[in-house]
Amino acid sequence: MRGTFETAAHVSFCNRALRAYLLLFAMIGAMSLCGAQESSPGTDHPANIPANIKVQYDQAEGTLPPIWNYFGYDEPNYTYAANGKKLLGELAAIDGSPVYVRVHNLLTTGDGSASLKWGSTNVYTEDAAGHAVYSWEILDHIFDTFHAAGITPLVEIGFMPEALSTHPEPYRHSFPKTSVQEIYTGWAYPPKDYDKWADVVFHFVDHLRQRYGDKEVKSWLWEVWNEPDIPYWHGTAEEYDRLYDVTAAAIRSELSDAKIGGPESTGPANDQAAAFLHQFLEHCAHGTNAATSKTGAPLDFISFHPKGSPKFIDGHVRMNVGAQLRSVERGMQIVASFPEWRSTPIILGESDPEGCAGCKGEQNGYRNGAL
């Protein structure tokens, strides 16, 4: 995950970042476009399209904001592996800015063994009578490593513990032996009891607060789930809104000034993803809150995932950052269409020129090597 967290109070600051961001992609896009035209002589497009880029290198406008200081991965148990600790330490040392890390599977049931696109903490199970059993050992290992490295967590609340899933079996997938479409197993379903889910979230936040202290935990960011507009969430949009309301209320009941956001939906260049983001923002602005019965839901930042669409063409990988930028543009247009959210910070939670983490194929081979 790479992303950016922007505040309305620093408009010119963010404009400088955006110009730098777009300049980089303009240069890449111009080179990619010229390469595409040269390799496609039979098209109706001219063979050479000039791209004029003006860089005033002798005119300073201010400090470039660190739009590169957000990272993440699916597999939380790699956090405390030797290479995980090494990488986190290197990221934290990039500069003096907070380095945020976001991981999946912080509430997933399992023994902590890691594999691609999988992880677990076994935080919540139940005894034979259906009573809650909490275990913090694996979770502490993850967050102790963040703490030691100087990492600021962007805490993703998910996924569904096996004991609470409405469809618990099968639960653990076997990717990459199976396709990526088969990873969405029992952990991806809504809770069968929202009160129990709220208790899990409350105890989760309470434990982290007790272990790391108010000052540190209040600097963290909190969000609900990942990509609920695709099968990461085997529920409806309305059910996700309910999950968001209940989860946010549980977080705030323990940490009243927690910064909470979402929905970490997929790239809004896709119509379905755009519709999901729009309905979520509408709910947070004007909907009935499932936890409080009041109007609206807390939303301190808005997050979505602009990604590229790499293809293997003529012996090389073409990243197609144009697809990524179209999602950035449309997502920001959707946010700006709501007066309530126009000045709300945006996190591009998975801002990747690649399309699918861990996926196979020639288009992904450039970054699928061994450690």
The secondary element (H helix, E strand) that includes residue 102 is: strand 100-103
- pLDDT value of residue 12: 36
- pLDDT value of residue 24: 44
If you ran DSSP here, which 8-state letter would residue 151 be given? Answer: P
197 close to 205: Cβ distance less than 8 angstroms? no
pLDDT tops 50 at residue 19? no
Q: How many CA atoms lie within 13 A of 329 on its CB side?
A: 8
120: left (phi over 0), alpha (psi -120 to 50) or beta: beta
Nearest Cα to 162, choosing from 196, 136, 117, 116? Answer: 196
Nearest Cα to 324, choosing from 348, 301, 303, 347? Answer: 348
Decide which of 42 and 151 is more confident.
Answer: 151
pLDDT tens digits, one per residue of 283-317: 999 999 999 999 999 999 999 999 988 888 888 88
- pLDDT value of residue 325: 93
pLDDT tens digits, one per residue of 276-285: 999 999 999 9
- pLDDT value of residue 256: 95
Decide which of 356 and 182 is more confident.
Answer: 182
- pLDDT value of residue 352: 83
Decide which of 15 and 64 is more confident.
Answer: 64
pLDDT tens digits, one per residue of 170-229: 999 999 899 889 999 999 999 999 999 999 999 999 999 999 999 999 999 999 999 999
118 close to 73: Cβ distance less than 8 angstroms? no
Rounded CA-CA distance 254/90 in Å is 32
Rounded CA-CA distance 280/273 in Å is 11
Confidence grade of residue 120 (pLDDT, cut at 50, 70, 90): very high
pLDDT tens digits, one per residue of 35-93: 333 333 344 444 577 878 888 888 888 887 777 789 999 999 999 999 999 999 999 99
Which distant-in-sequence residues (6+ apart) come within 8 Å of 198 by Cβ? Answer: 246, 247, 249, 250, 291
Question: In whole angstroms, how far apart are CA 182 and each of 78, 84, 266, 268?
Answer: 22, 26, 18, 23
219 close to 152: Cβ distance less than 8 angstroms? yes
CB atoms within 10 A of CB 41: 8
Q: What's the mean per-residue pLDDT of the chain? A: 87
- pLDDT value of residue 5: 40
Which distant-in-sequence residues (6+ apart) come within 8 Å of 221 by Cβ? Answer: 5, 100, 152, 153, 154, 155, 259, 261, 300, 301, 347
Rounded CA-CA distance 322/92 in Å is 30
Nearest Cα to 155, choosing from 103, 190, 214? Answer: 103
Nearest Cα to 172, choosing from 100, 117, 254? Answer: 117
Rounded CA-CA distance 131/124 in Å is 10
What's this model's pTM, rounded to 2 decimal places? 0.85
Coil, strand or helix at 294 = coil
- pLDDT value of residue 152: 96
pLDDT tops 80 at residue 359? no
Rounded CA-CA distance 156/165 in Å is 18
- pLDDT value of residue 220: 98
Both tokens of 63, joined, read 């400090």
- pLDDT value of residue 368: 60
Question: Which of 94-98, 160-164, 174-178, 254-258 shows the lowest mean pLDDT across its residues?
Answer: 94-98
Mean pLDDT of 339-353: 93
Mean pLDDT of 3-32: 40
Mean pLDDT of 87-102: 89
Nearest Cα to 327, choosing from 303, 307, 311? Answer: 307
- pLDDT value of residue 353: 83
If you ran DSSP here, which 8-state letter would residue 163 be given? Answer: G
CB atoms within 10 A of CB 40: 13
Mean pLDDT of 97-125: 95
The secondary element (H helix, E strand) that includes residue 280 is: helix 271-286
